[in-house]
Amino acid sequence: MICIGWGEYMNLTDLYYLASPCVVGFISKMKMLRPGQEPLFPDIFGTGFLVDDRGTVVTNRHVVEVFEQIPRHPQKDESPVAAIMLFVTEDKRGCQMLMVEIKGSIALETFNSSGSWFGQAVPDIGFVQLKLRETPFLSLATDDFYLQIGMDIATIGYPMGTIPLTALGKLNQVNPFIRSGIVSSLFPFPTPRPHGFTIDIMQQGGSSGSPIFSTSTSQVVGMMFGGVTESRAAQSQSASLQYTLNTNISIAEPAHLIRLALDSYVQAYPQDVSAFPTLQQLKDSYPQPSITTGLTWDSWLVRSEPT
């Protein structure tokens, strides 16, 4: 399968169309609604990206932890979480969205360093196995000095989850967002293998797990996981309110740490994917963009008023 990012230069438009099929959104298949309210789209709570052709997705540990927090269907004994993938047609006149079932997930729990460590005590990394194989995937940069302060980067994901997709009161888009910026700083300073880094793209709920690309090589140089917030206070004569604001200083896990974690995961938990459908088989089982299945979402009904 195609590995995206082996040193080729491309502009942001080409990068988006080539790399976005490797980016997945994690959704809750259940949605709690009031009686008579129609669901617009499943809730997206995180992003991830494919790192091999066996359906392995890397994301954040805190995204994987959400999997166990989502309520299950009251009648159906199945996972309440799935992944969505989006494919724009070659003529760019339509798109095909797939929902992919998840086999399982795991998160990095321990981490040791031989010297002083200036990144997270335990890197915010997790893995998800899709019930899918023969997938395209993204290349992780691992060469020395692959991260440089001031280098141009871009990220693809789902900031704010479903909110921007339904901003007009209807499903007005389904594609993930591409955003661009620069590497702002390295932990603890410029070094061949930084312990972490910051970028000037705002971290928002749903963008956790988004891949960060070098725009000069198209390789993945890191993954978004958190941001620096600014504390504010509002004061009146009778009350005060403490609140925080997101800033454009977002923190990321570097690609070489993701590669180390991925190698350990593959060695410790080898996956037999032979029974899973190939990506092409799954795409063939879905309708073409010009055809609809009349798909409806399961939803829970909740009372509009307490009894």
Which residues lie closer than 8 Å to 122 by C-beta, 6 or more apart?
61, 108, 109, 110, 111
- The confidence score (pLDDT) of residue 5 equals 66
- Coarse DSSP helix, strand, coil percentages of the chain, rounded to the nearest 5 percent: 15, 35, 50
How many angstroms separate the CA atoms of 19 and 221, rounded?
A: 14
Residue 141 in this model has a pLDDT that exceeds 70 = yes
- The confidence score (pLDDT) of residue 64 equals 97
Residue type at 195 in one-letter notation: H
- The confidence score (pLDDT) of residue 1 equals 57
- The confidence score (pLDDT) of residue 303 equals 43
Residue 302 in this model has a pLDDT that exceeds 50 = no
The angle at the Cα of 202, spanning 196 to 205, to the nearest 5 degrees, equals 95
Which letter, b or e, does each residue of 4-15 get, where b requires 16 or more Cβ atoms within 10 Å of its Cβ?
Answer: bbeeeebeeeeb
How many angstroms separate the CA atoms of 273 and 54, rounded?
A: 7
Q: What is the pLDDT of residues 175-230, one digit of tens each?
A: 999 999 999 999 999 999 999 999 999 999 999 999 999 999 999 999 999 999 89
Q: What is the pLDDT of residues 167-176, one digit of tens each?
A: 999 999 999 9
Residue 7 in this model has a pLDDT that exceeds 50 = yes
Average pLDDT, integer, range 85-109: 91
Task: Supply the mean pLDDT for the chain.
Answer: 89
Q: Reduce the secondary structure of 249-275 to three states and give it as a string.
A: EEEEEEHHHHHHHHHHHHHHCCCCCCC
Confidence of residue 254 (pLDDT cuts 50, 70, 90): very high
285, with CB counted inside 10 A (0-12, 13-18, 19+), is: exposed
Q: Which helix (H) or strand (E) holds 19?
A: helix 12-19
241, with CB counted inside 10 A (0-12, 13-18, 19+), is: exposed
- Taking residue 171's Cβ as centre, other Cβ atoms within 10 Å add up to 12
Q: Is 198 left (phi over 0), alpha (psi -120 to 50) or beta?
A: beta
| Residue tagged 């089982």 (tokens) | 285
